[in-house]
A = this chain, B = another copy of it.
């Protein structure tokens, strides 16, 4: 078969590992040929692409980023988008398209497959881990690892200086990175968008922690918000800065904020992410050969399965109460 590939949305570690596995298995086992589109859906809309062979993917397993480039272009944002996608697939002679992306990129693939009959197969990737129907997305474990290593480093300053340290991590509408890195890093508070927080309660953790041992570390997802909706964050850069200032003002303890930003999505993928990305790639090319259009490869335990793309993107996967309660054991 002749198969197209694209990576859309924000970059994250493991994208190249997916591409490599698809190409290695497709060429060796099936004699497939591949076309790589540049910069996500943009490359499909304007037909910016190049042939992709085994030598192109050699050595890319440990490399972050994406050799195809990425963009946030949405093929459904323009009326003739689906027609242009179809035209490119036809002119390139493609039997299928493997779409590697997060909720928005995969959401477009779901529509194109279900409503326009285009031969799309999805692979979930995003550091935010918010794609449904899969245990994990490619890139998440690396983001958690970077965030945890940062928290590890901050513990020593918290110990030595008796300063409250606030760490702002990413997560879009869900609190997965904060939840995992908070548990793994030994945070004394974790605030996530799913559960608006009570600032007084956060301050009580800070105060009780100082009583018990040294200064606390509070992890906050960039979209976490106080329950009191009359609060205004003001002109500061983000929730982390705001929270640090409020904790300092209310508890009298000095506080500092660290905003992780882009370092969560860069660098070499962890072994877990390479393993997941490689297996997703192997199963995605199988799905193409099974003409499983409109499906996404997904992790369930240690098995790679297939789910409907439409189900995977219907709503962001969020952290449920019982999981958050596990974090709460360590608050204060």
Are A266 and B156 also in contact (CB < 8 A) when A256-B261, A329-B29 are? yes
Expressed in whole angstroms, the Cα–Cα distance for A13 and B153 within the complex equals: 10
Expressed in whole angstroms, the Cα–Cα distance for A330 and B183 within the complex equals: 35
Number of chain A residues close to chain B: CB under 8 A: 74
Which residues from chain B contact A149 at a C-beta distance below 8 Å?
A: 267
Are A329 and B154 also in contact (CB < 8 A) when A61-B186, A148-B274, A161-B70 are? no
How distant is A125 from chain B, measured CB to nearest CB, in Å?
Answer: 12
Which residues from chain B contact A148 at a C-beta distance below 8 Å?
A: 271, 274
Which residues from chain B contact A146 at a C-beta distance below 8 Å?
A: 153
The answer to whether A65 and B262 touch across the interface, beta carbons within 8 angstroms, is no
A302 at interface (Cβ–Cβ under 8 A)? Answer: yes
The answer to whether B180 and A24 touch across the interface, beta carbons within 8 angstroms, is no
Please encode chain A, from 231 to 253, with 1 for each CB lying within 8 Å of some chain B CB and 0 for all others.
00001110001000000000000
Are A275 and B183 also in contact (CB < 8 A) when A64-B153, A263-B153 are? yes
Expressed in whole angstroms, the Cα–Cα distance for A145 and B21 within the complex equals: 20
A62 at interface (Cβ–Cβ under 8 A)? Answer: yes
Quickly give the copy total for this chain: 4
Which residues from chain B contact A156 at a C-beta distance below 8 Å?
A: 11, 13, 63-65, 265-267
Which residues from chain B contact A259 at a C-beta distance below 8 Å?
A: 258-259, 261
Q: Which of A21, A186, A256 has the most CB atoms of chain B within a 10 A radius of its CB?
A: A186
Nearest residue, chain B, Cβ from A13: B156
A91 at interface (Cβ–Cβ under 8 A)? Answer: no
Please encode chain A, from 142 to 167, with 1 for each CB lying within 8 Å of some chain B CB and 0 for all others.
00111011101111110111100100
Which residues from chain B contact A58 at a C-beta distance below 8 Å?
A: 213
The answer to whether A272 and B275 touch across the interface, beta carbons within 8 angstroms, is no
The answer to whether A11 and B161 touch across the interface, beta carbons within 8 angstroms, is yes
Which residues from chain B contact A301 at a C-beta distance below 8 Å?
A: 135, 300-301
How distant is A19 from chain B, measured CB to nearest CB, in Å?
Answer: 12
Q: List 25 A-B contacts (CB under 8 A).
A: A10-B161, A11-B156, A11-B160, A58-B213, A65-B155, A65-B156, A66-B160, A69-B162, A135-B301, A141-B272, A144-B275, A149-B267, A150-B263, A152-B268, A153-B266, A153-B267, A156-B265, A156-B266, A180-B271, A183-B275, A183-B279, A184-B274, A185-B274, A235-B235, A272-B272
